Structure 1
Amino acid sequence: MHVIGKVWRSGAVALAVGFGLLEAPAPSHAQRGPQGAYCASNDNRFARCQVPWRDAELVQQMSKTRCVRDQTWGFDRNGIWVDKGCRGQFAPAYGRQYDDGRGRGWGRPPQQLQVRCESHGGNRQFCPVDLRRDDQVRMVNKLSGADCRQGRSWDWSRDGIWVDRGCRAVFVVERRY
């Protein structure tokens, strides 16, 4: 094909898109709720969710696939993106703390996130939550008659909170920036 034909074809495609004759895939809109927005990579496919925030943080992982910032989810000028099966509840993030290991930096007061985690039938249940080094987790409301004692029937790690032996409770994650 001659150069003139290529230029004409690319110009025709640009005009067709401009007039709406050809459709470009539209970005997904996040399903917003009281705690933020839900965004999902279904069938391990890349997806974008538009939100009116300048940055986001994962507040609860909703998939078996681990959601890791800048690997299976991220945030850019087009909103939240998820990939490789990551599904989660996201909330606005208002800045990042500078931490050089000596407590220097800036931040804001701790943000609290509530997570409900329940052991049914006495079985261990893991509730994925993206926890950071400086986060603190505490039980605020015991929902079961079973004993809920940290280190015995519940605890937490960087990946989330686990409950066991019939412990059902609401936990608060204090996020420090």
Structure 2
Amino acid sequence: MQRIRAGWMGVLVGVAAGALWSAAPAVHAQEREAVRCGSDDGRFSRCQVPWRDADLVRQESNSPCIRGQSWGVDRDGLWVDRGCRGQFVEMGRGGGWRGDGRHDDDRDDDRDADREDGGGWHPGPDWDREIRFQCESNDKQQQFCQVDVGRHGRVHLLQQLSGTPCEEGYSWGWNRAGVWVTRGCRGLFSVDRRW
């Protein structure tokens, strides 16, 4: 009787070990799967990823994907901007694509600097300034007026130019890539652009 129990226990242990061994490659494969993230209509967008840092493995947009300019990773996750669309993987699993014409070998020197200054790229001395422009929703259609607001910038409506109301969050709004208007809102806007 004990031999039968011992035999069954051996079979069960073998089946369990085989199941775990065959499941392990599937888990490993899932870790290596790419996440697609895209900036639609040039707008700033975020994608949730389970990693602390990422590599671009395939650019899928005509707009360039350059780390620190049109994509990056910060405390809130992976972000894309300026029309960049691509496939991203956990850093160190990518295999060479940088999107800026350089190879992975060049990346190690930049990695620490990128983390310290938020992406490595800094705008010129005339970056932090006010930009005024009109943005108009003609025929009550949504319109996007592209202006790089910067990471710490703000947008204000200076003057309503339409008969229909311009209310932030209802008929106009903004993100890092610019200002949108809809429902007939036409206005003069001020971007307080700050890096």
TM-score (norm 1): 0.40
Please say which structure displays the higher CA radius of gyration: 2
Q: When you count strand as a share of all residues, which structure comes out higher? A: 1
Q: Pick the structure with more helix per residue.
A: 2
Length-normalised TM-score, structure 2: 0.36
